[in-house]
Amino acid sequence: MERYYGRWVLMFLYVLSHRYGTRKLGLPKYTKQMISKLLHNLAVDEVDYTDFFRLLSNIKTDPNIPGDELLIPLKAALLDIGQERKEAWINRVQSYIQELVSGGIPDEERKAAMNSVNPKYVLRNYLCQNAIGAAEQCDYGEVRRLLKSHGASL
């Protein structure tokens, strides 16, 4: 895993350096150092990227939010972090807010742009595997449930 991590980070940074990537993070411009540190935190704490990027759109561009309240919008993604990691995340979110403030994009406009490229739901492989296994036994309940949860039907 570690062998490929460096390559993966470079590829992800490349994607984030383009218009799509800045919309994904709600940033007005690409900032390599900030994005690298954010990706580092995500990897260290094994945070689900889909959930995190979607929740990130809820951050307000208010630099006066107290440190202990900064992580509230990200709580669902940062479930099991200790105090030391919490401080690292507070620092990262404070830097992120500074970038947002300098960009001057209104919160609602930024949230809409971010949500347009950060899906609310991603069909997970293990869920598909469970549905396939049940369907092979002629039980289509799980398939129907997955389709319904993603706005489709049989």
Token pair of 94, please? 């404070």
pLDDT digits (tens, 9 = 90+) for 48-94: 988 999 999 999 999 999 988 999 999 999 988 989 999 999 999 99
DSSP E strand boundaries for 25-144 = none
Mean pLDDT of 15-26: 68
Q: Among 147, 144, 122, 142, which residue's Cα sits nearest to residue 131? A: 142
Q: Among 32, 43, 42, 38, which residue's Cα sits nearest to residue 10? A: 32
Residue 55: enclosing H or E segment and its boundaries? helix 49-56
Higher pLDDT, 85 or 153: 85
pLDDT digits (tens, 9 = 90+) for 95-147: 999 999 998 999 999 999 999 988 887 777 888 888 889 999 999 999 898 88
